[in-house]
Amino acid sequence: MHERKEEGITIDFFESVYHGEPPWDIGHPQKEYIQLEHAGEIVGSVLDVGCGTGENALYLAAQGHDVWGIDFAPTAIQKAQEKAAQRHLAATFLVLNVLELHTVERTFDTVIDSGLFHSLSHEERPLFVDNLATVIRRGGTYFMLCFSELTPVPDLSTLKDFMPNLSELKPEDYARLRVTQAEIKASFQDGWRINYIRPATLEARLGPNEVHGWLSSISKD
């Protein structure tokens, strides 16, 4: 019998969205990350996985952190590098698939994720978590901001203006974006400690402008 491999949302999809203005690309950092920085929870060096055009990474660089951002969409990384140059901020941005994080060959004190994990397929998530373990030091913390199952399925008519190629997304792509706490716990069992999973909002440039999500703090043993 033919087994169908479940794919994540493709590079091509993200790449063509970044030629326009993705709804999540809000031009400033997510407030959840500003609050974490103010609370002193973001410590030391920082890796932003799926950094997009770099607003969260650049915010943390401006606060004095040694920051790297990686994303598999070259256009997003180019925009992030241009912003860093314009703002005179030192941050390193690289085109890389998060399933190849082990090739980075350095570790970070903190890893942040704003909307990456929820876009990965169910098959990719465990591979991502294994790769994540290679770039985070023992005792270091991964912060993950994702959509939750409490978020209504988006009204596609409002999204089409922002993402002309929206029809490329499959129903299962939408379904996966709405992550449950149980899924997060199941993904981070061995070798990880979940400090908290708390309700959070993700800001976006469409109605509703804030989407219900989870903010997780997960440390590596």
Q: How many angstroms separate the Cα of 75 from the Cα of each of 21, 78, 94, 95?
A: 11, 5, 11, 9
Choose the stretch contacting ligand SAH; rule: CB under 6 A; options: 35-43, 109-117, 164-172, 173-181: 109-117
Q: Give 10 or 180: the residue with its C-beta nearer to ligand SAH.
A: 10
- Give the residue, chosen from 116, 163, 200, 218, that forms a contact with ligand SAH under the rule CB under 6 A: 116
For 82-99, letters b (16+ CB in 10 Å) and e give: ebbeeeebebebeebebe
Is residue 99 close enough to count as binding ligand SAH by CB under 6 A? yes
- Give the residue, chosen from 14, 93, 108, 192, that forms a contact with ligand SAH under the rule CB under 6 A: 14
Min separation Cβ 60 and ligand SAH, Å: 12
- Give the residue, chosen from 73, 132, 136, 184, that forms a contact with ligand SAH under the rule CB under 6 A: 73
Evaluate whether 8 touches 119 at the Cβ level (below 8 Å). yes
Q: Give 33 or 188: the residue with its C-beta nearer to ligand SAH.
A: 33
Choose the stretch contacting ligand SAH; rule: CB under 6 A; options: 69-77, 157-165, 166-174, 192-200: 69-77
Is residue 115 close enough to count as binding ligand SAH by CB under 6 A? yes
Instruction: State whether residue 164 is helix, strand or coil.
Output: coil
- Give the residue, chosen from 52, 140, 154, 213, that forms a contact with ligand SAH under the rule CB under 6 A: 52
Spatial distance between the Cα atoms of 110 and 67, rounded to a whole number of angstroms: 10
Spatial distance between the Cα atoms of 86 and 202, rounded to a whole number of angstroms: 26
For 36-63, letters b (16+ CB in 10 Å) and e give: bbeeeebeebbbbbbbbbbbbbbbbbbe
Residue with tokens 């140059």: 85
Enumerate binding residues for ligand SAH (CB under 6 A): 8, 14, 24-25, 50-52, 56, 71-73, 76, 97-99, 114-116, 119
